[in-house]
Structure 1
């Protein structure tokens, strides 16, 4: 999947969650709350990776792929909420690392 398509689909899904937040809580989550949710999922990637490697007891090892996908989703959403181009963020990072590693 192209990063632009990933971003576009992610934003549509996030909008649906915003509607649920407004209905159940009277307001949308802030960007800070979204960031905390991302960090929670990133932590779960760590635990599920440890579980998959036999280093942490868990019955939910099969959730690792979905949690990795959810973290990418959050990053697409967070970049949009910060007025950043998701694909450009990834491209810039990769270019910087490639340049650093060539030196």
Structure 2
């Protein structure tokens, strides 16, 4: 698989989220809500910030490139999941965003 195949990344992301839903049902009796998914995403987004600060030597924690890389990937995974659960095609959303910024800033 090409690492640039967004369709495959989306498919695999949603398959993984489905497995987490199974664990949630098993351990808690219900799946996380979209709001709980959003909160988990925000928590991980905050950790990206801390990892960036650490990388830039502005936070008193040993820099871990692997941890930052993991959290960046996890944040993209959460965005794919949140878009899907909200009925939004993430590819279309990114395309529209990029096009609007290009029109505003480049054209």
Same fold by TM-score, threshold 0.5 exceeded? yes
Q: Tell me by how many angstroms 1:80 deviates.
A: 0.4
Contact persistence 1:80–1:86 (CA under 8 A):
yes
* 1:11 aligned residue: 14
Q: TM-score, normalised by structure 2?
A: 0.91
Runs of 4+ more than 2 Å apart:
59-62
For structure 2, which runs of at least 5 residues remain unmatched after alignment?
A: none
2:32 to 11, 29, 34: 29
Which structure has more relative contact order (CA 8 Å, sep 6+)? It is: 1
Contiguous gaps of at least 5 residues in structure 1: none
Match of 2:70 in 1: 66
How many residues of Structure 1 are paired with residues of Structure 2 in the alignment? 103
8 A contact 1:48–1:64 mirrored in 2: yes
**Contact 2:55–2:63 under 8 Å retained in 1:** no
Choose from 86, 90, 93 the match for 2:94: 90
C-alpha RMSD of matched pairs (Å): 1.1
